[in-house]
Amino acid sequence: MAHEEANGREMMDRREAIRRVSVLLGGATLVGGDALLAGCGRERPVAVPYGSFSVEDIEFLDEVAETILPETSTPGAKAANTGAFMALMVTDSYDEADREIFRAGMRTIDEISRSTNNVSFIEATPQQRLAVLEVIDREQKAHSDARSEESRRKSLAWLSDQRQESAPAADVGAATTITTDPPAHYFRMMKELALLGYFTSEIGCTQAQRYLEAPGRFDPCVPYQSGEKTWAPHA
């Protein structure tokens, strides 16, 4: 019973973290979100350090995450080892197709940096890295908007078909088959994991946000002034 309760608390904490990152990203569902929620309840492959990601890959992902969440008055994503978190989540929670998209995206970022700045992404300056990712982010935003619209269109078509099948003398086999949604953009995946990894890390919870491990009372309404840190979810 105690074990089941502990698993239940962990599932709620993980669901809350995913919900918060989804809000930051405009409400879209995280890639691999179902696997992230069920991760502790299924058998996992034998652990390999960083999965198929090399130390150089981790350094690359650290720099991508640091460009998204740079050091300011609080430590950035690299200090929270977000690159290793991203690699672990891709290895442990993504399906094979999404893993391939993610890895190909890493190569694409490096190629764009080389063609734009004549240096690899790792060798580029912080300003050069930011310029590269800003261009890619605009691309992923357009891709994600089109993907959401396509999903909405197919959902409406499915509802229409269900109504037709329910009508008298309807041809039950005439419903349009709902195909799999288009794959997510690789940079969308990277942003999701960078935010999730950082804001669920010790640094993200205790320094970028305000955190109380064991609050003494329930405060349903706490005054908030613009510019203050948000409260981290309770552990």
pLDDT tens per residue across span 24-39? 555 555 565 555 554 4
Least confident stretch, 20-34, 45-59, 173-187, 205-219: 20-34
DSSP 47-83: P-TTTT--HHHHHHHHHHHHHHS--SSS--TGGGTHH
Residues 113-148 as b/e (b if ≥16 CB within 10 A, e otherwise) read: beeebeeebeebeeebbebbbeebbeebeebbeebe
Least confident stretch, 65-74, 150-159, 181-190: 150-159
User: How far apart, in Å, are the Cα atoms of 235 and each of 79, 89, 147, 187, 199?
Assistant: 21, 20, 34, 29, 12
Q: What is the separation of C-alpha 28 from the centre of its chain, rounded to a whole number of angstroms?
A: 10
The two structure tokens encoding residue 194 = 């960078």
Residue 131 pLDDT greater than 80, yes or no: yes
Residue 137 pLDDT greater than 80, yes or no: yes
Planar angle of CA 17, 20, 25, nearest 5 degrees = 125
How large is the average pLDDT for residues 143-154? 83
The reported pTM is 0.66
Compute the mean pLDDT over every residue in the chain, rounded to the nearest whole number: 78
3 state DSSP class of 11:
helix
How large is the average pLDDT for residues 164-181? 52
pLDDT tens per residue across span 220-234? 677 878 888 877 775
How far apart (Å, rounded) are the C-alpha atoms in residues 115 and 173?
51
How large is the average pLDDT for residues 196-206? 90
How large is the average pLDDT for residues 117-145? 96
